Amino acid sequence: AQSVTQLDSQVPVFEEAPVELRCNYSSSVSVYLFWYVQYPNQGLQLLLKYLSGSTLVKGINGFEAEFNKSQTSFHLRKPSVHISDTAEYFCAVFGNQFYFGTGTSLTVIP
Amino acid sequence: DTGVSQDPRHKITKRGQNVTFRCDPISEHNRLYWYRQTLGQGPEFLTYFQNEAQLEKSRLLSDRFSAERPKGSFSTLEIQRTEQGDSAMYLCASSRQGDTGELFFGEGSRLTVL
């Protein structure tokens, strides 16, 4: 079985500041890792994914994430956030099925 | 490519009534998933189809819930004898078999049970 833990339910950050959203997972099998974003009143859309290879993956809108197998983490980062990044962010793991974390609400403060 | 569409977007019903949601996946996607999302939670897996076959059902899916995908295209999710605890956003997603995981989500159907 797989599971995902998002350690922060809410993250407020000032515009143009860096941000890190934390995600840890557990699994007894090899997994693929994902970050999805949900803007208000919209469906979830894929930000980035880790399948194999380089542990640093880059996604849309300037986001990136680093896979750390020893720490079973897949933290999401952005060096400078914009107001438009205000949204809910979900980490997900796919082994034999998709499992989502409970989400982190990112609020960018002007 | 029109994306995944769900209907209706919002449904308000009285406790005890039946409701049905429809999902139209991306046309070439043979996998279709249903998730439920409540406030402050991530999407919870309910069930998924590969073509017309329902391959997995979550223990969350009580006997009051039934899902179909009769021709391997659109799917319906029916909830019978709704309860207030069924109030949630019901999300549909689709993907291609063999793709390494990207799910394409619809905008969801929000159910409110009074």
Please state whether the peptide bond connecting residue B8 to the residue before it is cis, i.e. omega within 30 degrees of 0: yes
Q: What is the pLDDT of residue A97?
A: 74
The answer, yes or no, to whether residue A4 has pLDDT greater than 80, is yes
Residues 64-103 of B with CB under 8 A from A: 91, 93, 100-103
Say yes or no for a CB contact (<8 Å) between A44 and B91: yes
Note whether A109 and A101 are within 8 A (CB): no
Q: What is the pLDDT of residue B1?
A: 55
Share of chain B above pLDDT 70, in %: 96
Instruction: Between B97 and B102, name the one with better pLDDT.
Output: B102
Q: What is the pLDDT of residue A74?
A: 96
Share of chain B above pLDDT 90, in %: 74
Q: Which residues of A5-37 are buried (b: 16+ CB within 10 A; e: fewer)?
A: ebeeeebebeeeeebebbbbbebeeebbbbbbb
Strands (E), chain B: 5-7, 10-13, 19-24, 31-37, 44-50, 53-57, 65-68, 75-79, 88-95, 104-105, 109-113
Note whether B17 and B82 are within 8 A (CB): yes
What average pLDDT does range B94-111 have in this prediction? 85
Q: What is the pLDDT of residue B98?
A: 67
Q: What is the pLDDT of residue A94?
A: 85
Rounded CA separation B31/A79 (Å): 36
Task: Give B1's contacts in chain A (Cβ within 8 Å).
Answer: none
Q: What is the pLDDT of residue B99?
A: 62
Rounded CA separation B36/B19 (Å): 15
- pLDDT one-digit tens code per residue, A32-63: 999 999 998 888 999 999 988 889 999 999 99
In sequence order, which residues have a C-beta less than 8 Å from that of residue B50 and are 6 or more positions away? Answer: B30, B31, B97
- pLDDT one-digit tens code per residue, A73-109: 999 999 999 999 999 999 999 877 788 999 999 999 9
Q: Which of A98, A80, A85 is nearest to A2 (CA)?
A: A98
Say yes or no for a CB contact (<8 Å) between B4 and A4: no
Instruction: Return mean pLDDT, chain B.
Output: 91
Q: What is the pLDDT of residue A73?
A: 95
Say yes or no for a CB contact (<8 Å) between B103 and A98: yes
Residues 20-59 of B with CB under 8 A from A: 33, 35, 40-45, 48, 56
What average pLDDT does range B34-42 have in this prediction? 90
Instruction: Between B12 and B2, name the one with better pLDDT.
Output: B12
Per the listing, tokens 């919209």 go with: A42
Per the listing, tokens 């999302």 go with: B37
What average pLDDT does range B59-88 have in this prediction? 93
A94 sits in which H/E element: strand A87-94
Instruction: Between B102 and A38, name the one with better pLDDT.
Output: A38
